[in-house]
Structure 1
Amino acid sequence: MNGNRGLLIGRMQPVHKGHINVIKDTLEEVDELIIGIGSADKSHTNSNPFTGGERILMLTKALRESNIDPSRYYIIPLEDISCNSLWVGHVKMLTPPFNKVYSGNSLVQQLFEEENIKVIQPPLFNRTEYSGTEVRKRILNNTNWEELVPPAVVKVINEIKGTQRIHKLNQKEISELI
């Protein structure tokens, strides 16, 4: 490693074991990692039920629980902006300098590549199970969601009554369709 700093962006709705595995793997390639909480301004919807602050809390506690050295990462909330062509500049303004980006999102990859920033697609860990969509679906169905997230995240979700929120948001969306 030669003093390099990477940027990893994810919505983390919620933080799950796949995120922690990707962060651990990425930290093997970089000296420091900026973890961008994407769509930090979005919350209380079916696809984005948790606030940026709640996701930062989940991630901070999960990384501590995994014994990941806090001097090696920064957690930065990244709000969406309505103009994609300006988004990379927006991200650069909010983060420490970085020389590579880790993202599995094709739009994020495209936007950074257009700015001549190296993009690496991180390996996905058991993507069928370790996805925010799967965690939220299992919460709605009251089935084994806890096995997909670190214990610290289970505690945060319970503390903020996250399962009740997801159920209420789903009811709200159904009633809007009727």
Structure 2
Amino acid sequence: MIARFQPFHYGHLNALKFCYERFGEVVVVVGMASQSHTPENPFTAGERVLMIRESLKWSGLPLDKLITVTLPTLEVSRVAVHYVKLYSPPFKHVVTLNPVIQRIFMEEGYTVVEPPRLARENYRGSIIRRLIAEGRSEWEQLVPPPVVDVIKSVDGVERIKMLYRERLPGYYATV
């Protein structure tokens, strides 16, 4: 399963549950691992791995069936498939909702599986990051409790607010 997990949310957790039910072992690829402290990628790779691990423990999913790998920031192209193969154990299926990632892996002969979409209008990293930036507490209902804990422990709320200051019109008036 390939995603950025910025941050890990219930849509991701739902997709991982789907993977656990369908496959014997799950390799989670944390993409754009070398990016952090930007509006689109505010969290470090280590913070995201911690979000995933703690959320899986919280949900009762077995960690012994999970392998987490990080993938450095790459231009999305067929070359990225090569890097995924280098950084992860062998795999047959790729689980993602990203149509470009789907295409490049299909072109390389992999079976691409779309996980079920869980309220995609709410469970999107961009929406969660914006809610955090706007100082709205609703974001906490869109992520598992351990993610809230990780974000707060790394001062992620203030980090995101700082990163979005230039982007949100009237930001200073609302915070």
TM-score, L = length of structure 1: 0.90
Shift of 1:116: 0.5
Match of 1:34, SS?
A: strand
2:156 paired with 1:162:
yes
Aligned residue type for 1:161: D
Structure 2 unaligned blocks of 5 or more:
169-175
**Equivalent in the alignment of 1:96:** 89
**How does 1:1-178 map onto structure 2 within 5 Å?**
8-82=1-75, 84-143=77-136, 144-173=138-167
Shift of 1:82: 3.4
Q: 1:29-54 CA deviation, whole Å, 9 max, x = no partner?
A: 00000011111111111111111111
The 1-side partners of 2:117 and 2:14 are apart by 9
CA gap 1:83/1:150 in 2 versus in 1, 3 angstroms: closer
Shift of 1:83: 6.5
CA gap 1:129/1:79 in 2 versus in 1, 3 angstroms: same
Give the share of equivalent positions with the same residue, in percent.
Answer: 37
Structure 1 unaligned blocks of 5 or more:
1-7
RMSD of aligned C-alpha atoms?
1.4
Aligned residue type for 2:118: F
Q: 1:120-163 CA deviation, whole Å, 9 max, x = no partner?
A: 11111011111111111111122211000100000000000000
CA gap 1:83/1:15 in 2 versus in 1, 3 angstroms: closer
Aligned residue type for 2:151: I
Match of 1:62, SS?
A: helix
Match of 1:28, SS?
A: helix
Q: 1:82-120 CA deviation, whole Å, 9 max, x = no partner?
A: 372211011001001011100110111111011111101
The 1-side partners of 2:156 and 2:40 are apart by 13
Following TM superposition, the consecutive aligned residue runs of length 4 or more in structure 1 with deviations greater than 2 angstroms are 80-83
